[in-house]
Amino acid sequence: MKTLIVDDEPLARERLRALLTEVGGNEVVGEAANGSQALTEVARLAPDLVLLDIRMPGMDGLEAARHLAGFERPPAVVFCTAYGDHALEAFEANAVDYLLKPVRSERLKAALDKARRWSPQLAAATLAQAAGESRARSHLCARMRGNLVLIPIDEIHYLLAEDKYVVVRHGGGEVLIEEPLKALEDEFGERFVRIHRNCLVARARLSGLTRDAEGRLLAVINGVDAPLEVSRRNLPALRKLIKSL
């Protein structure tokens, strides 16, 4: 079973690698020091199992597990952590097991046995459901020319639905993701405002309203050259928001 070890402490990664060698039946294909690196390595290496720490700098293990729901072939996830207060969140994210450090070889072996019986199809569906029920993510995950791209929510200017995709406009350009705009609104509603049936704008980027030559109202967005159309339905709430800024 191909395994990826994710922990921000090198000694912890070394110990897990030694335990996996002791237990046998596994091939450690790589290591990562945080959630963002873990997603990149999973996309590159396609492991069967990820041994995942929770408290790490940048993206933590819980958010990384939620992003794995969008992978075509998500790996089994076993959390390995020094803290017992995240167990409920871990199992809501459909973790195969939850191991407390220091990890004992017999507990690791039991977790590996569970992982071998794990169903990727069932886990992907459960992880997707958990993503809508848990706290908002700090990043959106997209693919560009086969590479994994993580966009911090703080850097997003707007989200624009086009056909089955959503255009994510951010400080570095644009990417496409396959997530419903309504689901994104439900998750990030406190940080974005709907200006049209197909568009959410980051509240922090909204600077005012203007009219074009045809009299249509447009939202002016910091960092975006072309203003975006505002629907009549969303105009009253938008005006109220702008007055409060």
Q: In angstroms, rounded to a whole number, what is the distance separating the alpha carbons of residues 65 and 75?
A: 9
Which range marks the domain in which residue 74 is found?
2-133
CATH code for the domain of 194: 2.40.50.1020
Nearest Cα neighbor of 68 from 30, 124, 137, 115 is 124
What is the number of structural domains in the chain? 2
Residues 121 and 11 grouped into a single domain: yes
Residues 144 and 129 grouped into a single domain: no
Residues 45 and 92 grouped into a single domain: yes
The strand pair at 199-202 and 173-177 is best described as: unpaired
pLDDT tens digit sequence for 6-16: 999 999 999 99
pLDDT tens digit sequence for 105-125: 999 999 998 888 875 544 444
Q: How confident is the model at residue 92 (pLDDT cuts 50, 70, 90)?
A: low
3-state helix, strand, coil split of the chain in percent (to 5) is 35, 30, 30
Residues 155 and 69 grouped into a single domain: no
Model pTM score:
0.67
**Which two structure tokens, joined as six digits, stand for 40?**
């990149």
